[in-house]
Amino acid sequence: MPIRRIDQAHIEEYTFATLHYLHQFCREKDLTMLSVGIKEAINNVHDHSKSEIGAYIFCQYFPKNKTIKVCVSDMGIGIPKNVKNYFSELSDAECIMWAVGQNNTTKSTPQNAGHGLTNIVDFVKSNNGDLQILSGDGRYVLHNKKEVLTKNTIKNFIGTLVEFSIIVDNLENEEEIITQYF
């Protein structure tokens, strides 16, 4: 899927088109959590970043290793600036770690419940995929179900980048999901 700018009004449309495109590579795989991850990443931009350009998203399927990569970026104020309004003593990387924690939110809009990034982290962990979040001078990496905080090596980085990869073979089969409920 080519890089696209997505506003809040078109999240559902974009997600539907993306899943329709990816379904050709993921026949009989349940893409529900991928859909949730895409929507959460885009919604976080609109709910928290104050980005004048909104969200940019890019999705790609890599057939050689059967993975799907999703990248969502903005040019907003970044996770650390939001979190430091509450916890000024945290480093930028620690701010990202706080933001991915269960029920943590800066409540920039009334519907925020602190589940967006946590849902992405949980999905990536269960899939044994990879996640990277860059914001300010901080970098959060989830690889082999291990979380690592480092310094962002990109100088003068503006906004936030959320990049996650999932392994298609590790997704549940659609029929397994259906039979679990009967």
**Burial tier of 136 (Cβ tally within 10 Å: 0-12, 13-18, 19+):** buried
Q: What is the CA radius of gyration of the chain?
A: 16
Residue 155 contacts by C-beta under 8 Å, 6 or more apart in sequence?
none
By the 8 A CB rule, do 136 and 78 touch? yes
Give the separation between CA 140 and CA 149, rounded to whole angstroms.
Answer: 5
Give the separation between CA 86 and CA 141, rounded to whole angstroms.
Answer: 23
Task: Please state the three-class secondary structure of 99-123 as a single string.
Answer: HCCCCCCCCCCCCCCCCHHHHHHHH
Q: What is the DSSP-derived secondary structure letter of residue 172?
A: P
Q: What is the DSSP-derived secondary structure letter of residue 158?
A: -
Identify the helix (H) or strand (E) that includes residue 29: none
What the block records as the tokens of 7 is 């506003």
Per residue of the chain (182 residues), give pLDDT as tens: 899 999 889 999 999 999 999 999 998 999 999 999 999 999 999 888 999 888 999 999 999 999 999 999 999 999 999 999 999 999 999 999 999 987 767 665 545 455 679 999 999 999 999 999 999 999 999 999 999 999 999 999 999 999 999 999 999 998 754 444 43
φ/ψ of 60, rounded to 5, equals: -150, 145
User: Domain 4-180 falls in which CATH fold?
Assistant: Heat Shock Protein 90 (3.30.565)
Domain ranges of the chain: 4-180
Q: What is the DSSP-derived secondary structure letter of residue 11?
A: H
Strands (E), the chain: 4-6, 55-62, 67-73, 130-135, 138-143, 146-151, 160-167
* The pLDDT value given to residue 39: 94
Give the separation between CA 134 and CA 77, rounded to whole angstroms.
Answer: 12
> Where does residue 138 fall: left (phi above 0), alpha (psi -120 to 50 degrees), or beta otherwise?
beta
pTM: 0.89
